[in-house]
Amino acid sequence: MKKYINLLLISCCVSAFTLQAEPTMTIDSDPANQTLDPTIEAIKSDGNQVNISLNNPMSFPILSQRYELNIGDSKFFKSFYKNGNLNKLTFILSLEEFNGLADDSIVTITNGLVNYPLGTLNKSILIHTK
């Protein structure tokens, strides 16, 4: 019973905090190479919806709180792991939602505990697929 109470107290305390992720080390000494931070891997549209694919070399772990993609003042929750790979998280937006976003808006992802900065939205990387 005592262990259960301690775990309950720890989980309650942890959920009260939000951590800000800081930039982490690069894979090698060349700063132009990929970092261990999450990045926007691709933005693709089939004409009906837009998929914003994120890559995280450290993985996007499955937690009790779902991930939230923030672009400017807009929040998006509909997402999936590409092919079940925890390193690839894709958010789904309607074409209207995407068109309503301002280019150069700040992009972050959060799971309620950790906020990851992803830079700014660059709509010019949108790839149209069919």
Q: Give the list of residues 6+ apart from residue 88 with CB closer than 8 angstroms, or none.
A: 41, 53, 54, 55, 81, 82
- pLDDT of 6 > 50? The answer is no
Mean pLDDT within 88-97: 96
Q: Give the list of residues 6+ apart from residue 36 with CB closer than 8 angstroms, or none.
A: 24, 25, 26, 27, 57, 58
Q: 70 — phi, psi (to 5°)? A: -110, 125
CATH topology assigned to domain 37-128: Elongation Factor Tu (Ef-tu); domain 3 (2.40.30)
Neighbours of 71 (CB within 10 A): 23
What integer pLDDT is reported at residue 5 of this predicted model? 42
pLDDT digits (tens, 9 = 90+) for 12-55: 444 444 444 444 333 344 445 555 789 999 999 999 999 999 99
Mean pLDDT within 49-63: 91
Question: Smallest Cα–Cα separation from 41: which of 124, 129, 130, 118?
Answer: 118
Mean pLDDT of the chain: 79
Mean pLDDT within 115-123: 93
pLDDT higher for 130 or 127? 127
What integer pLDDT is reported at residue 40 of this predicted model? 95
Domain layout of the chain by residue ranges: 37-128
Record the pTM. Answer: 0.72
